[in-house]
């Protein structure tokens, strides 16, 4: 069913420019956000990507919807009228609901992240955020319960990354990568078709969650590109404007 | 540290000891003098009475016999009787021939060696001879050591007790004064949460001063907190509208075709991102001032963190033609919050990358010193003037020379905040040339 919907989705939005996720099946999403403008924009953007989105404007409405419906991912603002985001998620978790939750927060990061994750959140995003970041993270969360693939090699186009020998070959040419370049390529390949934002790359490849003021991630990607893409005709690592990077299949 | 000898209670104790000692000495001296005088008087009376007995004798012969008989059983150490007749015959148990009459203090040393010490003698001419009766003054002389003993026994313990009491009180009050002084120093150093911890044994006056210091600190802390709350509230309240602007701009960027309009939108988005980063930094600053975060501290391997950070920033440095290196032992552990420590190192690196200039060499070094882990980031760029060191960690402060480079003037404030949260000390020095920033962590 997911597959057919995905095709339909591709047809519907084909080439519309704004698409961040190309082949991921649409999901049932619940957005609980009290700021109407932000909530509407998030909902509209996610719908444009082919997801089915319900929008709740306060905690109690959100709790009712969350308890009744079956969602793939919930996007919850931490500060909500009536029932705040933390309590909402705690209540859901106590009731046995395991739907992945992305917290939106307007507060500082560290304490918030720890508090949010302790309450049962799966990821968090600090306001103001870019839509691309939100979309990429929602997609990552929706795909989280992924079976560990027992593959010994990752492929994309004519590129093969051998997980056992750590050799990377494109066409008939072997590419020599530094350890961190290899890790970056592996991370993108494992999430083939899905956008990875700069902060997701920092978290995933370097295990760092901080706010770089300079374009540190870009420089790493461009180094990787110089080895993986530049000598070849087609570009494997794509830049998704306002969001991040992606390798397509 | 001021000497305990100069503390107030000890000075009071010393003064009391001197006063008490003087009064005791004077009264002892007076009673010694009185007692001695009384003893002497009684000896004189005894002598006069003795003499009166001999005067009753009818002739020189009788006196001589009486003296002889009396002196027979008498210990010359106590009483010496002597009658020297006109012809020069000596009777008695001693030979004292004095021409003058009345009382004398005499020594018999020259006469008979066995008779030593001083005697009080009374002489009188009687029937042509000279009668002298001398009584030993030993009892009177014995008073002196007795009184000296009384002096030691009564005065010495008093002085000792008063002195040690004063010393203990002085020490205690000095300790309490030291607590107040240390608190004031902490407050001056910017730790507004410092309070004077008054114990139940504090003297009333010091406790009152401590209370007043605490009251002042609390008022100060409240007003500073209110000020900080305002800046964090502003940042917080503006985040939602900035979020809306950011999302709308994003939608706009997708809607407009490439060209001048798209460039304008892109530039505006960059500006909005800048505003967001200021807000994020302000909120982060507010966050690191909350010492409750310390409860979340875990051991963090600084070597690993520095290594990763240097690796992350290395390509950016290479792009500027700069060299970024790391040097440190295999493991340096500190207690802290990894994300904040990472942000601190990132800010230090970005600061160096931004201001050290093209071709600069930036060194990150880590060291286990006896006083704890020491993290240093140094460059060989233009550095900053020494008089600016205290100001660069101020919020939104930017050096004149860096007005035109990117940055929001909050990077080093956050470094300072994170360092403080970790009880680490941030300092700047001239790397000759360039700037060296040091973060000295406490021992784990």
* Cβ-based contacts of A180 with chain B (< 8 Å): 311
Nearest to B300 by CA among B393, B375, B376, B352: B375
Pairs across A and B, CB distance < 8 A: 121
Chain B CB within 8 Å of residue A93 CB: no
- Of B49-58, B226-235, B417-426, the least confident: B226-235
Question: Does B55 share its domain with B91?
Answer: yes
Nearest to B182 by CA among B193, B196, B171, B169: B196
pLDDT band for position B258 (cuts 50, 70, 90): confident
Q: Do A37 and B244 touch (CB under 8 A)?
A: yes
pLDDT band for position B317 (cuts 50, 70, 90): very high
DSSP labels for A139-162? HHHHT-SPPPP--SEEEETTEEEE
Chain B CB within 8 Å of residue A118 CB: no
**H or E stretch covering B125:** strand B118-126
Give me the pLDDT at residue B352, please: 92
Q: Strands A244-247 and B118-126: what pairing? A: unpaired
Mean pLDDT value across residues A105-118: 69
Q: How far from A220 is each of A162, A185, A224, B352, CA to CA, in Å? A: 21, 11, 6, 19
pTM: 0.64
Question: Does B346 share its domain with B429?
Answer: yes
In angstroms, the CA A66 to CA A117 distance is 18
* Cβ-based contacts of B240 with chain A (< 8 Å): 35, 38, 106, 127
Question: Does B314 share its domain with B254?
Answer: no
In angstroms, the CA B232 to CA B281 distance is 10
For tokens 């990358």, name the residue.
B353
* Cβ-based contacts of A211 with chain B (< 8 Å): 277, 280, 284, 343, 346
Chain B CB within 8 Å of residue A65 CB: no
**Residue A180 is nearest to which of B293, B311, B353, comparing CB atoms?**
B311
Q: How far from A189 is each of A159, A162, A245, B311, CA to CA, in Å? A: 10, 11, 11, 21
Give me the pLDDT at residue B68, please: 84
Which A residues in the span 1-40 are in contact with B, Cβ-Cβ below 8 Å?
17-18, 35, 37-38
Tokens representing B261 are 């309009």
Nearest to A64 by CA among A47, A83, A49: A83
DSSP-H helix ranges across A69-209: 85-94, 110-118, 131-142, 179-190, 198-206
Whether residue B56 is contained in a domain is answered as yes
In angstroms, the CA A124 to CA A129 distance is 11
**pLDDT digits over B222-248, tens only?**
888 887 777 777 777 788 888 888 888
Mean pLDDT value across residues B405-413: 75
Question: Does B277 share its domain with B325?
Answer: no
Whether residue B185 is contained in a domain is answered as no
Domain boundary among B122, B141, B160: B141
- Of A146-155, B185-194, B287-296, the least confident: A146-155
Q: Are B440 and B374 contacting, i.e. CB atoms less than 8 angstroms apart?
A: yes
Question: Does B331 share its domain with B403?
Answer: yes
Assigned CATH topology for domain A153-247: Arc Repressor Mutant, subunit A (1.10.10)
Whether residue B131 is contained in a domain is answered as yes
Å between A230 CA and nearest CA of chain B: 17
Give me the pLDDT at residue B346, please: 93
Nearest to A30 by CA among A78, A63, A79: A63
Whether residue B302 is contained in a domain is answered as yes
Please, what's the b/e burial string for A200-230 (b: 16 or more CB within 10 A of its CB; e: otherwise)?
bbbebbbebbbbbbbebbbbbbbbbeebbbe
Give me the pLDDT at residue B380, please: 93
Q: Is B105 exposed, middle or buried (0-12, 13-18, 19+ CB in 10 A)?
A: exposed
pLDDT band for position A149 (cuts 50, 70, 90): low
**H or E stretch covering B82:** strand B79-84
Å between A1 CA and nearest CA of chain B: 30
Q: Do B242 and A128 touch (CB under 8 A)?
A: yes
Question: Does B101 share its domain with B238?
Answer: no
Strands (E), B268-338: 298-301, 323-327, 333-336
Helix (H, G, I), strand (E, B) or coil at B289: coil
**H or E stretch covering A63:** helix A59-68
Nearest to A60 by CA among A96, A29, A91: A91
**pLDDT digits over A194-227, tens only?**
889 988 899 889 988 877 777 889 999 999 999 9
Cis before residue B437, ω within 30 degrees of 0?
no
Question: Does B310 share its domain with B432?
Answer: yes
Chain B CB within 8 Å of residue A206 CB: yes
Tokens representing B60 are 């020189």
In angstroms, the CA A203 to CA A181 distance is 15
When scoring B239, B246, B247 by the number of chain A Cβ atoms within 10 A, the one with the most, hence best to mutate, is B247
In angstroms, the CA B198 to CA B195 distance is 9
**Residue A107 is nearest to which of B276, B283, B313, comparing CB atoms?**
B283
* Cβ-based contacts of A210 with chain B (< 8 Å): 339, 342-343, 346
Query: Residue B255 sits in a domain of what CATH number?
Result: 1.10.287
Contacts of A138 (CB under 8 A, 6+ apart): A27, A29, A46, A51, A73, A75, A102
Contacts of B164 (CB under 8 A, 6+ apart): none
Helix (H, G, I), strand (E, B) or coil at A173: strand
- Identify the closest residue of chain A to B410 by CA–CA distance: A213
Q: How far from A232 is each of A52, A147, A192, CA to CA, in Å? A: 39, 33, 19
Q: Do A109 and B287 touch (CB under 8 A)?
A: yes
Domain boundary among B115, B141, B167: B141
Q: Which domain holds residue B329?
A: 294-440
What does residue B259 show for φ and ψ, rounded to 5 degrees? 145, -160
Chain B CB within 8 Å of residue A204 CB: no
When scoring A110, A112, A201 by the number of chain B Cβ atoms within 10 A, the one with the most, hence best to mutate, is A110
Tokens representing A110 are 């560290």
Query: Residue B129 sits in a domain of what CATH number?
Result: 3.30.450
pLDDT of B2 higher than 60: no
Chain B CB within 8 Å of residue A223 CB: yes
* Number of compact structural domains in chain B: 3
Give me the pLDDT at residue B425, please: 93
Question: Does B282 share its domain with B300?
Answer: no
For tokens 């609980």, name the residue.
A32
Question: Does B279 share its domain with B393?
Answer: no
Measure CA B195 to chain center: 18
pLDDT of A15 higher than 60: no
Nearest to B250 by CA among B238, B262, B260, B235: B262
Stated length of chain B: 444
* Cβ-based contacts of A34 with chain B (< 8 Å): none
Where do the structural domains in chain A lie, given as residue ranges? Answer: 12-142, 153-247
Question: Does B277 share its domain with B299?
Answer: no
Q: How far from A161 is each of A129, A201, A202, CA to CA, in Å? A: 33, 18, 21
* Cβ-based contacts of B316 with chain A (< 8 Å): 214-216, 219
- Identify the closest residue of chain B to A178 by CA–CA distance: B311
Q: Do B283 and A216 touch (CB under 8 A)?
A: no
Whether residue B197 is contained in a domain is answered as no
Whether residue B190 is contained in a domain is answered as no
* Cβ-based contacts of A113 with chain B (< 8 Å): 339
Domain boundary among B119, B141, B163: B141
Give me the pLDDT at residue B154, please: 81
Give me the pLDDT at residue B107, please: 61
Write out the CATH class of domain A12-142. Answer: alpha beta
Whether residue B94 is contained in a domain is answered as yes
Chain B CB within 8 Å of residue A41 CB: yes
pLDDT of B286 higher than 90: no
What does residue B148 show for φ and ψ, rounded to 5 degrees? -60, -40
DSSP labels for B215-238? HHHHHHHHHHHHHHHHHHHHHHHH
Chain B CB within 8 Å of residue A226 CB: no
Whether residue B7 is contained in a domain is answered as no
pLDDT of A19 higher than 80: no
Å between A135 CA and nearest CA of chain B: 12
Q: Do A223 and B353 touch (CB under 8 A)?
A: no
């Amino acid at each position: 069913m997911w597959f057919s919907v995905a095709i339909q989705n591709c047809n519907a939005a084909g080439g519309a420019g704004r698409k961040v996720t190309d082949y991921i099946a649409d999901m049932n999403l619940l957005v609980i956000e009290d700021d109407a403008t932000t909530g509407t924009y998030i909902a509209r953007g996610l719908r444009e990507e082919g997801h089915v989105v319900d929008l709740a404007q306060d905690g109690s409405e959100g709790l009712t919807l969350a308890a009744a419906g079956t969602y793939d991912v919930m996007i919850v603002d931490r500060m909500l009228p009536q029932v705040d985001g933390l309590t909402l998620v705690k209540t859901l978790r106590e009731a046995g609901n395991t739907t992945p939750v992305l917290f939106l927060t307007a507060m500082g990061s560290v304490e918030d992240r720890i508090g949010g994750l302790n309450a049962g959140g799966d990821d968090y995003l600090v306001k103001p955020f870019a839509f691309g970041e939100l979309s990429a993270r929602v997609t990552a969360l929706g795909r989280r319960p992924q079976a560990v693939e027992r593959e010994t090699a990752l492929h994309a186009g004519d590129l093969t990354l051998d997980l056992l020998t750590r050799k990377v070959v494109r066409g008939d040419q072997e590419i020599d990568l530094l350890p961190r370049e290899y890790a970056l390529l592996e991370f993108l390949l494992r999430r083939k078709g899905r956008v990875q934002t700069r902060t997701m790359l920092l978290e995933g490849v370097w295990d760092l969650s901080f706010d770089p003021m300079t374009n540190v991630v870009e420089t790493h990607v461009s180094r990787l590109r110089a080895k993986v893409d530049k000598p070849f005709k087609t570009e494997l690592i794509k830049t998704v404007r306002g969001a991040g990077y992606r390798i397509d299949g | 540290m001021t000497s305990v000898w100069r503390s107030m209670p000890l000075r009071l104790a010393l003064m009391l000891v001197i006063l008490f000692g003087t009064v005791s000495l004077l009264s002892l001296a007076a009673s010694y003098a009185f007692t001695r005088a009384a003893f002497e008087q009684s000896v004189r009376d005894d002598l006069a009475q003795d003499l009166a007995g001999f005067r009753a004798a009818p002739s020189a012969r009788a006196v001589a016999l009486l003296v002889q008989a009396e002196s027979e059983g008498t210990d010359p150490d106590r009483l010496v009787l002597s009658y020297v007749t006109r012809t020069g015959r000596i009777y008695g148990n001693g030979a004292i021939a004095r021409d003058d009459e009345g009382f004398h203090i005499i020594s018999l040393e020259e006469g008979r060696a066995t008779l030593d010490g001083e005697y009080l003698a009374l002489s009188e001419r009687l029937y042509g001879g000279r009668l002298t009766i001398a009584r030993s003054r030993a009892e009177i002389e014995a008073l002196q050591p007795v009184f000296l003993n009384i002096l030691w026994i009564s005065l010495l313990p008093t002085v000792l007790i008063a002195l040690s009491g004063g010393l203990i009180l002085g020490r205690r009050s000095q300790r309490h004064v030291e607590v107040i002084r240390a608190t004031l120093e902490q407050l001056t150093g910017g730790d507004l949460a410092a309070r004077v911890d008054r114990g139940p044994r504090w003297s009333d006056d010091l406790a009152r001063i401590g209370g007043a210091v605490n009251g002042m600190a609390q008022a100060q802390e409240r007003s500073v907190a209110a000020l900080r709350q305002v800046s964090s509230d502003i940042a917080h309240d503006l985040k939602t509208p900035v979020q809306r602007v950011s999302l709308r701009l994003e939608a706009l960027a997708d809607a407009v075709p490439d060209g001048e309009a798209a460039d304008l939108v892109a530039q505006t988005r960059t500006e909005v991102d800048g505003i967001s980063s200021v807000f994020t930094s302000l909120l982060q600053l507010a966050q690191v001032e909350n010492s409750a975060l310390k409860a979340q501290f875990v051991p963090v391997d600084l070597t690993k963190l520095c290594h990763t950070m240097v690796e992350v920033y290395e390509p950016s440095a290479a792009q500027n033609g700069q060299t970024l290196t790391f040097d440190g032992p295999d493991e340096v552990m500190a207690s802290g919050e990894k994300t904040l420590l990472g942000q601190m190192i990132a800010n230090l690196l970005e600061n160096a990358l931004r201001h050290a200039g093209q071709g600069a060499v930036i060194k990150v070094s880590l060291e286990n010193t006896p006083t704890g882990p020491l993290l240093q980031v140094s460059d060989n760029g233009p550095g900053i003037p020494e008089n600016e060191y205290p100001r660069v960690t101020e919020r939104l402060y930017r050096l004149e020379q860096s007005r035109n480079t990117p940055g929001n003037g909050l990077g080093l404030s956050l470094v300072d905040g994170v360092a403080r949260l970790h009880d680490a000390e941030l300092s700047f020095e001239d790397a000759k040339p360039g700037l060296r920033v040091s973060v000295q962590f406490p021992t784990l």
